Amino acid sequence: MSASKGVAENMLWGGRFTQGLDPLMVQYNQSLPYDRILWQQDIRGSLAFARANTKGGILTAHEFSEIERGFAQIATEWRTNTFLVKENDEDIHTANERRLSEIIGKDIGGKLHTGRSRNEQIATDMRLWLRDELRQLDVWLCDLIKVSVARAESELDYLMPGYTHLQKAQPVRWSHFLLSHATAFASELQRLREVIRRVNKSPLGTGALAGNPFQIDREMMAEELGFEGLLYNSMNAVADRDFAMETMQWGSSFMLKISRWAEDLIIYSSLEFGFVRLSDAYSTGSSLMPQKKNADSLELLRGKSGRAFGHMAGLMCTIKGLPTTYNKDLQESVEPLLDHIKTVGDSIQIATGVLSTLTAIPEKMIAALAPEMLATEFADYLVRKGVPFREGHHISGQVVQLAEQNKVPMDTLTVEQLKTVDARFDDDVRACLDYERAVELKDAVGGTSRRAVLEQTAVLKKLL
């Protein structure tokens, strides 16, 4: 007997095959090198399934006790890295079931799979693993938001330019900038929690596609495994990878936001801006230029967003044309999902480390403020005197033009010069050139005044 024929005969599906597999096909088909990470979930699902089959009379109490004993030993072997993988272990399900029969014998071990398909098994394992991983991402994302809020409160008095089109626009608080990203992260936190609810549904007990013939108690298994409800159509349950796709959509959306956050800090940490200085722990130097301090942590965050987008696009291309129900193409949902979760999880932790250790430099922020950023204050000044805003906007534009014509900063224009633009300017117009005043006037909900910023921190704390 050829080695490859022996492999085929020992596969869970090998009974009807008489010819061996191409050795490359064996390797091509295997998923154990990466789905072994699901060993714990596979054991939990198998125990729940065996318990339910015991309730249904398929297994005796003694047989279930032996299965429990066998899986306890298998768990120890995985945990201590002593599990011996064999040639016919194509995936984590095959490996665990093969080892179980070795420990407790095939007479009992061979009953484990009664009424169960690997189609439902992998969907169950993936959902169990993903649910717990997403809950960990929730914790890490909360930490990132907490650090943002803490810095916003402790550095409330720092003023900086706010930008549109990367052009200086209006003065804002540094804390307002931090909270602009924290608010975006909070939206992602809410979406993440919605994704977790949809991931946490049980496919166990749906068979290969048509359902279970032994009246297995699916609710009992779902409750034991901590699922919040069932998937109610067996064909959909084994074919569905929306939970993986939606996770990657969420992860891509989050990584898009963390990439923009990173881009801002890359710009602000440059010598041209100098608003922040990164910790040495999250920077690198140049192999040639000793003066360089590169924001590699932020650049990697920006770069890995593309990796996350690729996971999502790849999975969507894989599943878009599949016929109902299970197809081996779906194996390609596992590996990118594992990498996606690691990429996103590492990125959240790196971002938190960067933000908690960077140094803000308020002197540089203040120095970057320019009088022209207060042009809107002149328009608002005229509005308070009853001038229509559109007219006031036009007049304030003329003030900017006057300063440009005279080649002087706008804050050096005299009241007399301002009156040549519009007679309604009076001595009190000089107050418009106060950056702190301009910031404090933006006091409506969501604004950049001290009160409005603290209100935003309170809202985020409540969410957390």
- DSSP β-bridge partners for residue 163: 168
Q: List the helix and strand counts (H, then E) for the chain.
A: 20, 4
- Would you give the distance in Å from CA 402 to the centre of its chain? 49
pLDDT in tens, 194-243: 999 999 999 999 999 999 999 999 999 999 999 999 999 999 999 999 99
Distances (CA, A) of 377 to 390, 440, 443, 459: 13, 12, 14, 29
Distance separating alpha carbons of residues 92 and 119, to the nearest angstrom: 13
3 state SS of 380: helix
Mean of the per-residue pLDDT values of the chain: 94
pLDDT in tens, 333-342: 999 999 999 9
Token pair listed for 406: 């005279």
Give the residue extent of every domain in the chain.
31-109, 118-367, 370-433
Distance separating alpha carbons of residues 229 and 198, to the nearest angstrom: 10
b/e 172-191 (16+ beta carbons within 10 angstroms → b): bbbbbbbbbbbbbbbebbee
b/e 370-381 (16+ beta carbons within 10 angstroms → b): ebebbbbbbbbb
Greatest distance between any 2 Cα atoms in the chain = 104
Tell me the pairing of strands 159-164 and 167-173.
antiparallel
Closest Cα partner for 125 from 54, 47, 190? 47
| Amino acid (one-letter) located at 45 | G
Per CATH, which fold does 370-433 belong to? Ribonucleotide Reductase Protein R1; domain 1 (1.10.40)
Token pair listed for 47: 């125990």
Kindly indicate whether the domain formed by 118-367 is annotated with CATH number 3.40.50.740.
no
CB contact at 8 A, 186 and 142: no
Residues labelled catalytic: 165, 286
Give me the percent of the chain exceeding a pLDDT of 70: 94
pLDDT in tens, 61-92: 999 999 999 999 999 999 999 999 998 899 99
Question: Strand (E) positions, 18-126?
Answer: none
388 vs 292, more confident? 388
Q: Residue 13 has what pLDDT?
A: 47
Question: Strand (E) positions, 302-401?
Answer: 359-360
Per CATH, which fold does 31-109 belong to? Fumarase C; Chain B, domain 1 (1.10.275)
pLDDT band at 51 (very low <50, low <70, confident <90, very high): very high
CB contact at 8 A, 176 and 448: yes
| Phi, psi for 156 (deg, rounded to 5) | -65, -30
